[in-house]
Structures are given as structure tokens and as C-alpha cells.
């Protein structure tokens, strides 16, 4: 047993740090560190910078323009980026549809789509959920009917993150309504968002943000060549994708950054004439979340080690989503409580719409309540935490 | 021991609940929230017509002279409705402070106008470093000839922009945390040198920071010449904390009902969500939290005027702790059990969640009251 990085891994970490010192734009990292959210244009700008360095797709194999890194290097890379205040990459292209295209796509699809994801030219979004199909995703109803070399798609997707920036959407659609099991009649389609018949409507969330959308399909023509893999086998590709989604959701690096921010704010806030961080009760709450984060990190490293040896992920991998999201929520709760009544002044939590300059109180207080509200989502999406527990119960504990 | 309400109390509860259900739908509330001032003076007048603004004003000043139990019942209904109007601040806290200060002249001037709903009086006490500590006052009042000059800052004063005047605390002597030297002044909202910076709050209301830059006041602005001002402030806050707890209890009941209803109707995996045992148990825990909160809200109402100050402090801090924790759990789980729908601005659940969050942060958060309680022995 050895919990330390090898000298090569340490040298790599230094290389990443040096790159970040030189190339991470300060205006972007300042926004990230202050919790103001990232603007769409900044995501694109940062992806181009990574691409130019050859680090556009840390999890992809080399032959597709990725880095070919092993899981430990990917982890080091992601952690350093998060700590430095780099935007968390938009997952839909790089972490979701990209790996699916690499694994199951045709050479034409790979040539057509992968380089554009790498360079940040295409913005993808995920069309899985529907009003009637959330946790029970396989019950989805959006219909695709084959007409010669096209599908005609009709239906509605919802909770679609950043569809208003996206030019492509990957969708699960029903191609065989009569299949014996709901999982069997589903196909995986790549759809150009500019195709006639697609309407994107905003959904306002509790924090006032416009982050998610409804997407309506009315007789949308999709070429058959935009299907991934075989017809009616979409569920297999969807499940492959979800497993990629879950491992990237733990957010250890960004939670470490938030912990630093929490401590920094609690040092500036005063309680009874002393810094809040010296208040025994508050200090204990901060300590508790820091300890939880340590436990999560080592659990994540165990999962990484298993992945690096190509062993099937052990039980520890399934825990990451649950604990990682709970820690994110706890941190946002403590951050909000740290600023007392100045958590109350409120502006919509929307990076495109404001920079939180006009609210009262210390500047660092302005986005905290909005973030607390916004992060309620992390235990709901990516397979809700209840669903994760069901998975652990069934597949790990054999219950 | 008696946990029943009198016929009059029950009638009051029913009347107010019927009123808000008929006149304060979620849609109406949304329109009011989006309006310029964020509250409805017309609706305020209707509350006055029902006698509600007079509830906490003594009979000799044109009020109904009701007590904390009546206020609790009214606040339960206002919680369910997520009322945006400044009831807690202008119809509970302000009259409570005026009575506690015991300045007969000012009371007879202001209380009748508060009772009739004509005058919105807002207590401006909180400062950037207050964090629940009532004695933390840095705003200064310097004697100047015949009057006073005020200098300082008040922070996150709810409904400040609705005020005709403020009951504003300032120090005539002592340093930031001294108990002595804190006094209450009447400050008109249009006083020269007073700047009111308004903004929206998390729970869809309005608040403001007040800047006082050489605000000149005549000597009669000082209220309650001989009273112990800090004790009066604490008394008024205890009565108001009890009302705040009751509001939270009203919300918890409503949000729990909404969650049960939603999970019975929403189907996934071919069955209603309410059939999943883990969600049943979650809703049971939400229910237990709400019941504990209700019990502590009763305790707060019964004890908030107790002459034994230690007894009173223990009860109010304990109530705020139980209610803060319950509100947090219930609000978070209500969203969780609604899934994506819980995250939307469209459903009332997220608005209940935000108000519960704001309540926890008001007049000392859960940790603050936990420490207060621990310190009382
Ligand atoms: C901010 C946000 C962004 C999102 N972005 C996207 C996106 O880009 N693309 C996309 O396709 N989807 C997206 N989603 C959708 C997300 O995946 C779904 O919200 C999620 O799958 C839950 O579905 P639901 O909202 O319908 O809730 P429901 O499935 O109705 O669940 C409601 C509650 O019931 C619980 N529950 C359900 N079934 C069970 C069970 N069997 N046992 C125990 N408990 C159960 C759930 O855990 C939850 O607490 C997003 C959601 C949010 C909130």
C-alpha cells in the first residue's frame, strides 16, 4: 500500500501547475473562485487553450486527439484545474457523447464530430429526460419513425442543460414501441439543433437562473447516418454514457477549492469580535466537512487504482456520486451561513446576466444563497441519490 | 395542561386562513412580488379591515390587545400563503417594541396609526456584525445642541422601503457590545442624510441597508427616556421570534402536504413515487420534524412574555433551533422528492424552501441559538 504519487506523477503535476500559471486567464479563474459561475464564451475560450496545449480531451485515447492518460493522471489534471479556478469542462461533449462516439461510432462519425468537440467548436447537450421519464428513463416516449434514410422525430425532452447554447443534442428516442421490454426499443440519435421543428424553451429555476430548457421536436428530420450503433440498441450506449457521467460528478477538486473559500470567508467574517473561523462550533462544522472530503478523496483514489488496473470498479466507485454531492451541498450551506444576514440580498444566479456587483454586503456574499439553491440539483440529476442507493443495494449488496 | 384554542382563537385562525386562500393565491403572490414595491398596500388595507394590524396593539391605543397565541395562529396562515407584506415587522415587532419601551407619549402617537394600518413603522436595529447579538450596535447618536446627530449603518432591514418611519437603534455611549448606551430613535424615512439602498431578498421580499450620514434629529426623537432599551429590544424580539416560528410551522405543514400530494400523483417505474418505502420514510421524517417544530412553536408562544428572563431565553432559543433544523430538512427534502420539478420557479415548493432558508437566517441562525442555549445553563 502506498498513498503517495510516484515521482513521474509528481513531475506531471508540476507541469500542469506551470501551464495553469501561464495560460489560465485571470478573469476566468477569478469568477470561478468567487463562485460567480462561468459564461458560455469563457468555456469556449478555455477549451481552445487546452486544445492548443494538446490537453483538449484528457480522457480520450491518443488516436482520437486525446491525451491517452491513465486515470491517475486524469485525476491529477482535473484536481489541479479545479484548484486553480479553471472552469469545469462542459461534460456533454467531452465526457458523454465523445466517449460514446469513440466506442460505438462509425469512422465517419468519429471524423465528423470528435475534432469539433476537441476544439470547442460544437456545444453538445443531453436529451435524455422527459416529463414522464426521469428516474425511470427507459419509459421515454419521444418517437422516431423511420422514413427511408431519415427518422422523423416527435416528442419532448426536458431539464435540458445549456440547450440554449448548444448546436447539437444527443437524444434517446423510441424506435420500437412494441418491443417486449421498454429498454429494447430505444435508439441513440445525434441531432443538429438547427433542424427545422426544434423549439427550445427556457425553464427558470429557483435561483432565478436560466440553465435548463424544454426541447420540443415536431416532425424533425434526422438522417439515419446520425444514429449511433444499431437501431433499438440505444440503451446499451446510454448506460455506458451514464457510467462516465457518474465518475466525473464527485467534484473533489472543486470541493477542495470551495473549502478554501469557506475558510477564507470565515476568517474575514466576525462573530463576537473574533473571526468566525475561531468560533468552536463553526470551526467544528468546517472540520467535519473537511474530514468527509478526505475520506471521499481516498475512496476516489481506490476507485482510480482499480480502474488503472482495469479491474471492474469496486463498491467505492458507486459511493463517489452520493458522497461527492452531499459534500458539495454541505459546503454551500456553510458558505451561506458564514455570511449571516448578508446571505439574504439576492440576485438571480446567472453568470450571463450579472456579476453580482450591485447587492449589499461584502462582495463574496452575493452569490452564496443562489449557489446553495442551485446545488439542490446535484442530488437529483446524474441518477438521483435515491437511485444510486438502489443501485448499491442491488448490484453490490445483492439485496 | 391545555392545548386547545378558545372559540375566538379558532374563529380567528379560520378567518385568516380563509382570507389568504381566497385572496392570496400563488399567482396573486407572484404578481405582487414582481410589482414595483414588492408588496401590496391594497392588501395591507384589507388586513387592517380584518383587524389584523390591530392584533398586537393594546385596546387603549385602538387595538385588539391579543396575545402571542393569536399571533401564532395568524402567522401559521401567512406562512402557508407566503405573505409578502411586512406583517411580522410592522404589525408584530414594531408595536411590541413600542410597548416594551413604555414611552406613553410616543405609544399614543404611533400605536393607533399602526393598528389602523395607516402607518408602517419598521425597527432598524441589525448591523453588519450583529449576527443575532442584540447588543452589537455601532451606530452613534451624538448630542448636538437640542437634538442628536446619527452616524452609522443598518444592515438587511426587511421591508425598509415600505417604512414611513424607523425605530432605529443608536448608541449614545459605550462601545460596540456594551449593554448600556443603546437607545431607540424615531427616524422618518425621508430624513436628510438617510440613504435607503433597497434590494430583493432570497425569499422574494425587499430589504435595504440604511446609511446614516449626519442625520439630525430633534431631542423628542429619543424614545423611552428612562427605560432599559436593550431589555425592551429583547422582549420585542422574543415576541417576534415566536411569530417567526409560527410562520415557519405554517410553511412546513403546507410544504409537507404538497410533497405527499406530489408523490402520490407522480408515477415512475409504473407506480406512484409514494409507494417507494425510502420516500415514505423520508416523508415520515419530514412529518416528525414538523410536529416537533409545532410543539416548540407552542412553547415559544406560551413563554415569549414570561417574566423569568432565563426561562424566556431558553424557550425561544430552543424553539429557534428546532425550527431552524426542521425547516432546513423539510425544505431540502421537499425539493429532493419533487425531483427536477422541485427546482423550478414555477412550483410553490421552491418558494417555501427559500422562505424557510431565510427564516433560519433571521434573528440568529440555528448555531447562534444553540450556543445561546448552551450558555444559559
Ligand atoms: C438542474 C438539472 C439539470 C439537468 N440536466 C439534464 C440534462 O441536461 N439532460 C437530461 O436528459 N436530463 C437532465 N436533468 C434531469 C435529471 O436527470 C432528472 O431530474 C432526474 O433523472 C430525476 O428525474 P425527475 O426529475 O423526473 O424526478 P423523479 O424521477 O420523478 O423523482 C422524484 C423523486 O423520487 C425519487 N425516486 C424516483 N424513483 C425512485 C425509486 N425507484 N426509489 C426511490 N426513490 C425514487 C427520486 O430520487 C426523487 O427524489 C437535469 C435535472 C436538473 C434538476
Q: At what angle do helices B366-376 and A280-308 cross, to 10 degrees?
A: 130
Q: Which of A92, A125, A127, A129 to mutate to test the pocket of ligand 1 (most atoms within 8 A of CB)?
A: A129
Q: pLDDT exceeding 70 applies to what percent of chain A?
A: 96
| Strand B206-218, strand B165-171: pairing | unpaired
| Count, residues in chain B | 377
A240 assigned to some structural domain: no
Q: What local confidence, expressed as pLDDT, does residue A348 receive?
A: 77
Pocket residues: Cβ below 6 A from ligand 1: A 125-129, 134-135, 159-161, 212, 377, 380-381, 384, 386-387, 390; B 266, 268-269, 273, 276, 278-279, 336-337, 339-340, 343
A254-270 pLDDT tens trace: 999 999 999 999 999 99
How close is the nearest chain A Cα to the Cα of B241, in Å? 16
Q: How confident is the model at residue A245 (pLDDT cuts 50, 70, 90)?
A: low
Rounded-to-integer distance, Cα A133 and Cα A140, Å: 5
Mean pLDDT, all residues of chain A: 93
| Strand A168-174, strand A124-127: pairing | parallel
Same-domain status, A391 and A256: yes
Helical (H) or strand (E) element with A157: strand A150-161
All residues of chain B having their beta carbon less than 8 Å from the beta carbon of residue A347 are: 199-200
Same-domain status, A166 and A200: yes
Q: Which of B277, B278, B334, B340 to mutate to test the pocket of ligand 1 (most atoms within 8 A of CB)?
A: B340
Closest CA to B75 of B234, B204, B251: B251
Nearest CA to ligand 1 atom 12: A129
Cα(A374) to ligand 1 centroid in Å equals 15
Rounded-to-integer distance, Cα A200 and Cα A122, Å: 17
Same-domain status, A155 and A261: no
The last residue of one of the domains, among A89, A113, A135, is A89
- Kindly name the residue from A79, A80, A245, A258 that is annotated as catalytic: A245
All residues of chain A having their beta carbon less than 8 Å from the beta carbon of residue B199 are: 345-347, 358-360
Rounded-to-integer distance, Cα A234 and Cα A2, Å: 41
CA atoms within 13 A on the CB side of A23: 18
Q: How many domains does chain A have?
A: 3
Cβ atoms of A43 and A106 closer than 8 Å: no
Q: What local confidence, expressed as pLDDT, does residue A242 receive?
A: 77
C-alpha cell at B354: 427559500
Partner-chain contact A373 B354, CB within 8 Å: yes
Catalytic site residue A245?
yes
DSSP character at residue A346: -
Q: What local confidence, expressed as pLDDT, does residue A212 receive?
A: 97
A59-97 pLDDT tens trace: 999 999 999 999 889 999 999 999 999 999 889 999 999
pLDDT at A316 over 90: no
Same-domain status, A264 and A366: yes
Rounded-to-integer distance, Cα B135 and Cα B180, Å: 9
Same-domain status, A169 and A211: yes
Q: At what angle do helices A315-338 and A280-308 cross, to 10 degrees?
A: 150
DSSP character at residue A69: -
A97 assigned to some structural domain: no
Could you give the 3-state DSSP secondary structure of residue A82? helix
Rounded-to-integer distance, Cα B70 and Cα B7, Å: 12
Same-domain status, A388 and A262: yes
Pick the more confident residue, A357 or B288. Answer: B288
Same-domain status, A182 and A272: no
Could you list the beta-strand ranges (E) of A251-371. 270-271, 274-275
Rounded-to-integer distance, Cα B146 and Cα A57, Å: 74
User: Please, what sign has the CA dihedral across residues B53, B58, B59, B60?
Assistant: negative
Partner-chain contact B367 A282, CB within 8 Å: yes
Partner-chain contact B340 A389, CB within 8 Å: no
DSSP character at residue A393: I
Cβ atoms of A289 and A330 closer than 8 Å: yes
The last residue of one of the domains, among A73, A89, A105, is A89
A95 assigned to some structural domain: no
Same-domain status, A302 and A198: no
Domains in chain B, start-ordered, CATH in brackets?
7-120 (1.10.540.10), 123-223 (2.40.110.10), 229-375 (1.20.140.10)
A98 assigned to some structural domain: no
A136 assigned to some structural domain: yes
How close is the nearest chain B Cα to the Cα of A345, in Å? 4
The last residue of one of the domains, among A35, A63, A89, is A89
Same-domain status, A310 and A392: yes
How close is the nearest chain A Cα to the Cα of B361, in Å? 6
Cβ atoms of A129 and A204 closer than 8 Å: no
Nearest CA to ligand 1 atom 29: A135
Partner-chain contact A285 B367, CB within 8 Å: yes
Print the SS3 string covering A195-242. CCCEEEEEEEECCCCEEEEEEEEEEEEEEHHHEECCCCEHHHHHHHHH
pLDDT at A243 over 80: no
Q: Is the pTM of this model over 0.95?
A: yes
Domain harbouring A331, CATH code? 1.20.140.10
A265-302 pLDDT tens trace: 999 999 988 999 999 999 999 999 999 999 999 988 88
Instruction: State the ipTM, two decimals.
Output: 0.96
Q: What local confidence, expressed as pLDDT, does residue A211 receive?
A: 94
Domain harbouring A208, CATH code? 2.40.110.10
Rounded-to-integer distance, Cα A237 and Cα A227, Å: 11
Which range of A113-117, A315-319, A346-350 scores highest in mean pLDDT? It is: A113-117
What does R_g of chain A's alpha carbons equal in angstroms?
22
Helical (H) or strand (E) element with A41: helix A40-53
Same-domain status, A210 and A258: no
Partner-chain contact B156 A129, CB within 8 Å: no
Same-domain status, A21 and A144: no
Rounded-to-integer distance, Cα A23 and Cα A15, Å: 12
A100-142 pLDDT tens trace: 999 999 999 999 999 999 999 999 999 999 999 999 999 999 9
A104 assigned to some structural domain: no
Cβ atoms of A40 and A111 closer than 8 Å: no
pLDDT at A247 over 90: no
A23-32 pLDDT tens trace: 999 999 999 9
Calculate the CA A240 to chain-centre distance: 16
Q: What local confidence, expressed as pLDDT, does residue A86 receive?
A: 97
Cβ atoms of B300 and B315 closer than 8 Å: yes
All residues of chain A having their beta carbon less than 8 Å from the beta carbon of residue B130 are: 340-341
All residues of chain B having their beta carbon less than 8 Å from the beta carbon of residue A369 are: 202, 357
C-alpha cell at A289: 466537512
Mean pLDDT over A317-326 rounds to 90
Mean pLDDT over A171-181 rounds to 97
A220 assigned to some structural domain: yes
Q: Identify the domain containing residue A176 by its residue range.
A: 124-231
Closest CA to B252 of B76, B86, B85: B76
Rounded-to-integer distance, Cα A394 and Cα A388, Å: 10
Cα(A165) to ligand 1 centroid in Å equals 22
Print the SS3 string covering chain B. CCCCCCHHHHHHHHHHHHHHHHHCCHHHHHHHHHCCCCCCHHHHHHHHHCCHHHCCCCHHHCCCCCCHHHHHHHHHHHHHHCCCCCHHHHHHHHHHHHHHHCCHHHHHHHHHHHHCCCCCEEEECCCCCCCCCCCCCCCEEEEECCEEEEEEEEEEEECHHHCCEEEEEEECCCCCCCCCCEEEEEEECCCCCEEEEEEEECCCCEEEEEEEEEEEEEHHHEECCCCCHHHHHHHHHHHHHHHHHHHHHHHHHHHHHHHHHHHHHCEECCEEHHHCHHHHHHHHHHHHHHHHHHHHHHHHHHHCCCCCHHHHHHHHHHHHHHHHHHHHHHHHHHHHHHHHHHHECCCHHHHHHHHHHHHHCCCCCHHHHHHHHHHHC
Residues of chain B with pLDDT under 50: none
Same-domain status, A78 and A132: no
A2 assigned to some structural domain: no
Nearest CA to ligand 1 atom 53: B340
Mean pLDDT over A178-195 rounds to 97
Q: What local confidence, expressed as pLDDT, does residue A204 receive?
A: 96
- Option in B155, B202, B371 nearest A369 (CB): B202
Helical (H) or strand (E) element with A154: strand A150-161
Q: What local confidence, expressed as pLDDT, does residue A312 receive?
A: 60
Q: In angstroms, how far is the first alpha carbon of chain A from the final one? A: 31
Hey, how many other C-beta atoms are within 10 angstroms of the C-beta on A158? Answer: 22
How close is the nearest chain B Cα to the Cα of A254, in Å? 22
Contacts of B42 (CB under 8 A, 6+ apart): none
Amino acid at each position: 500500500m502506498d498513498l503517495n504519487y510516484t515521482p513521474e506523477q509528481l513531475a506531471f503535476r508540476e507541469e500542469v501547475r506551470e501551464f495553469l500559471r501561464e495560460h489560465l486567464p485571470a478573469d476566468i479563474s477569478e469568477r470561478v473562485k468567487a463562485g460567480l459561475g462561468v459564461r458560455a464564451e469563457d468555456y469556449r475560450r478555455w477549451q481552445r487553450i487546452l486544445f492548443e496545449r494538446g490537453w483538449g480531451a484528457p480522457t480520450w485515447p491518443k488516436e482520437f486527439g486525446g491525451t491517452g492518460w491513465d486515470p491517475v493522471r486524469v485525476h491529477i489534471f482535473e484536481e489541479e484545474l479545479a484548484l486553480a479556478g479553471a472552469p469545469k469542462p462542459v461534460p456533454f461533449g467531452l465526457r458523454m457523447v465523445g466517449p460514446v462516439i469513440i466506442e460505438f461510432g462509425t469512422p465517419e462519425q468519429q471524423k465528423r464530430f470528435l475534432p469539433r468537440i476537441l476544439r470547442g467548436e460544437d456545444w453538445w447537450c443531453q436529451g435524455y429526460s422527459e416529463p414522464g421519464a426521469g428516474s425511470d428513463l427507459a419509459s421515454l416516449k419521444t418517437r422516431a419513425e423511420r422514413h427511408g434514410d431519415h427518422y422523423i422525430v416527435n416528442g419532448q425532452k426536458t431539464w435540458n442543460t445549456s440547450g440554449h447554447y448548444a448546436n447539437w443534442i444527443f437524444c434517446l428516442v423510441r424506435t420500437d414501441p412494441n418491443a417486449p421490454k421498454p429498454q429494447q426499443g430505444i435508439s441513440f440519435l445525434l441531432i443538429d439543433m438547427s433542424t427545422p421543428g426544434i423549439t427550445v424553451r427556457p425553464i427558470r429555476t429557483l435561483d432565478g437562473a436560466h440553465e435548463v430548457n424544454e426541447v420540443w421536436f415536431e416532425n424533425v428530420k434526422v438522417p439515419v447516418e446520425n444514429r449511433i450503433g444499431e437501431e433499438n440498441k440505444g440503451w446499451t450506449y446510454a448506460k455506458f454514457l451514464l457510467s462516465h457521467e457518474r465518475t466525473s460528478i464527485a467534484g473533489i477538486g472543486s470541493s477542495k477549492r470551495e473549502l478554501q473559500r469557506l475558510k477564507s470567508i470565515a476568517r474575514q467574517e466576525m462573530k463576537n469580535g473574533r473571526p468566525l473561523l475561531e468560533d468552536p462550533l463553526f470551526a467544528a462544522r468546517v472540520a467535519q466537512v473537511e474530514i468527509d472530503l478526505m475520506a471521499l478523496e481516498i475512496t476516489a483514489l481506490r476507485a482510480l487504482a482499480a480502474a488503472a488496473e482495469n479491474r471492474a470498479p469496486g463498491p467505492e466507485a458507486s459511493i463517489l456520486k452520493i458522497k461527492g454531492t452531499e459534500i458539495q451541498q454541505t459546503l454551500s450551506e456553510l458558505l451561506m451561513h458564514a455570511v449571516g444576514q448578508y446571505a439574504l440580498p439576492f440576485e438571480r444566479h446567472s453568470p450571463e446576466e450579472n456579476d453580482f456587483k450591485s447587492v449589499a454586503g461584502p462582495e463574496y456574499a452575493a452569490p452564496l444563497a443562489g449557489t446553495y439553491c442551485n446545488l439542490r440539483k446535484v442530488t437529483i440529476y446524474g441518477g438521483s441519490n435515491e437511485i444510486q442507493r438502489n443501485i448499491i443495494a442491488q448490484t453490490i449488496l445483492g439485496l | 395542561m391545555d392545548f386547545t384554542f378558545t372559540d375566538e382563537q379558532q374563529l380567528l385562525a379560520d378567518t385568516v386562513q380563509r382570507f389568504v386562500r381566497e385572496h392570496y393565491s400563488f399567482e396573486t403572490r407572484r404578481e405582487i412580488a414582481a410589482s414595483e414595491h414588492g408588496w401590496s398596500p391594497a392588501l395591507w388595507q384589507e388586513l387592517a379591515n380584518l383587524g389584523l394590524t390591530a392584533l398586537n396593539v393594546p385596546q387603549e391605543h385602538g387595538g385588539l390587545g391579543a396575545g402571542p397565541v393569536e399571533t401564532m395562529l395568524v402567522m401559521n396562515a401567512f406562512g402557508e400563503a407566503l405573505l409578502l407584506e411586512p406583517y411580522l415587522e410592522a404589525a408584530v415587532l414594531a408595536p411590541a417594541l413600542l410597548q416594551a419601551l413604555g414611552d406613553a407619549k410616543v405609544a399614543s402617537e404611533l400605536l393607533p396609526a399602526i393598528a389602523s394600518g395607516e402607518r408602517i413603522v419598521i425597527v432598524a436595529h441589525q448591523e453588519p456584525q450583529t449576527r443575532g447579538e442584540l447588543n452589537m450596535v455601532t451606530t452613534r447618536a451624538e448630542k448636538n445642541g437640542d437634538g442628536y446627530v446619527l452616524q452609522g449603518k443598518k444592515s438587511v432591514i426587511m421591508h425598509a422601503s415600505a417604512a414611513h418611519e424607523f425605530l432605529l437603534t443608536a448608541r449614545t455611549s459605550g462601545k460596540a457590545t456594551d449593554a448600556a448606551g443603546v437607545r431607540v430613535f424615531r427616524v422618518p424615512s425621508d430624513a436628510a442624510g438617510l440613504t435607503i439602498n433597497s434590494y430583493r431578498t432570497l425569499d422574494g421580499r425587499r430589504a435595504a441597508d440604511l446609511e446614516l450620514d449626519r442625520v439630525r434629529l430633534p431631542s423628542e426623537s429619543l424614545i423611552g427616556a428612562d427605560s432599559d432599551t436593550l431589555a425592551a429590544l429583547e422582549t420585542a424580539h422574543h415576541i417576534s421570534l415566536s411569530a417567526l416560528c409560527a410562520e415557519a410551522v405554517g410553511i412546513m405543514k403546507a410544504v409537507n402536504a404538497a410533497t405527499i400530494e406530489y408523490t402520490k400523483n407522480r408515477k415512475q417505474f409504473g407506480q406512484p413515487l409514494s409507494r417507494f418505502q425510502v420516500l415514505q420514510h423520508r416523508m415520515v421524517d419530514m412529518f416528525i420534524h414538523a410536529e416537533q417544530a409545532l410543539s416548540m412553536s407552542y412553547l415559544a408562544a406560551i413563554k415569549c412574555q414570561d417574566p423569568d428572563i432565563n426561562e424566556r431565553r431558553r424557550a425561544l432559543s430552543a424553539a429557534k433551533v428546532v425550527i431552524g433544523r426542521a425547516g432546513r430538512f423539510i425544505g431540502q427534502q421537499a425539493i429532493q422528492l419533487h425531483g427536477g420539478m422541485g427546482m423550478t420557479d414555477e412550483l410553490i415548493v421552491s418558494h417555501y424552501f427559500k422562505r424557510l432558508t431565510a427564516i433560519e437566517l433571521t434573528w440568529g441562525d440555528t448555531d447562534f441559538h444553540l450556543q445561546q442555549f448552551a450558555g444559559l445553563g
